[in-house]
Structure 1
């Protein structure tokens, strides 16, 4: 870590690409929200997902946080169609087969009430007489559209997906579409977490 390192947390809205390059004129990208040079997302958050996105100019940290080998926890609030039963939740917890891959064990629970989130724009699709429910899912891997594929595999399609934390970092009261620099204590927690995995020395070389 150096004095020039920059760490940013961003509350990504629905429909925003997790990149600064615009591929077509109608694409909304990070450039529309963040005017900070030389920072790049740690991992990715799909255009149709919302929530916490971490950006940094520390390339080594970016690489290690994005590498599933190190097993950093990512927590999501997931709105699904219908109400998952215990069998479905158990399958999500122990691992499900998606395509040619079996997911790692995950922490999954049915939230007893709707989480404190605002409306999505555009709103999710509602089907009359079909209830929805919210799950809290914590994964240590981040394969392409994994959460959506997991809930679909057990019969409960994802309607809305919000990442609320990465490790010790969380959205808290950060408003939708807003960003801020991490506090010194948050940066310390981030590097302390890496040191527990035996990679801090490499980051500070």
Structure 2
């Protein structure tokens, strides 16, 4: 059986799944609305409804397991509330304590730096806010783990809540060349 692999620029507001039987999610937006994926396609990892960016999909469970393991880097561009400090960046890099499944968890050391320019992403459907509400900073965070809402919890823990989160890279595959909502089939995703 030939497996299929895809990369998708997930828009804000979409769930990283194809359908649901849950009543409270009847009016939600799902990945199947963006593209006619082959049967058996699964998202490799997830991006929550409020997050955007690169989402890999495959029909190969082994590939999905390999990419979600801690061997694969995931890079995010994160717009945070306020002018981030060097101290906060250092804390993020060293690992911070977050809550995960009713327990505390210390994140693994990661790469973090402030971006010199605002990334050129499409305007988000739901406006974030404007400069009247104070300054914001864009940072890059590269992690190789993925606890539920981890990056959001990390930035909040150091006093700079996440306003916008866009995954730009998983391993060697990047968001480059994709428009918001666009899907491209790939030969391989590992």
**Shared fold per TM-score greater than 0.5:** yes
In proportion to residue count, which structure has more strand?
2
In proportion to residue count, which structure has more helix?
1
Q: Output the CA distance in 1 between the equivalents of 2:169 and 2:69.
A: 17
* 2:157 aligned with 1:153: yes
TM-score normalised by structure 1 residue count: 0.85
* 2:101 aligned with 1:103: no
Q: Which runs of 4+ in 1 moved over 3 A?
A: none
Deviation at 1:63, TM superposition (A): 1.6
Deviation at 1:129, TM superposition (A): 4.6
Deviation at 1:126, TM superposition (A): 3.7
* 2:142 aligned with 1:142: no
**Residue 198 of structure 1: aligned partner:** none
Residue correspondences, number: 182
Deviation at 1:127, TM superposition (A): 6.3
1:50-72 CA-partner distances (Å, limit 9, x unpaired):
0000000011111221233xx21
Which is further off, 29-38 or 102-111?
29-38
**Residue 13 of structure 2: aligned partner:** 15
Q: Output the CA distance in 2 between the equivalents of 1:51 and 1:129.
A: 25
**Residue 78 of structure 2: aligned partner:** 78
Q: Output the CA distance in 2 between the equivalents of 1:118 and 1:178.
A: 13
Greater length-normalized contact order (CA 8 Å, ≥ 6 residues apart): 2
- Where in structure 1 are there 5+ consecutive unaligned residues? 192-205
- State which of 136, 139, 161 in structure 2 corresponds to 1:132: 136
- Where in structure 2 are there 5+ consecutive unaligned residues? none
TM-score normalised by structure 2 residue count: 0.91
Q: Output the CA distance in 1 between the equivalents of 2:161 and 2:73.
A: 22
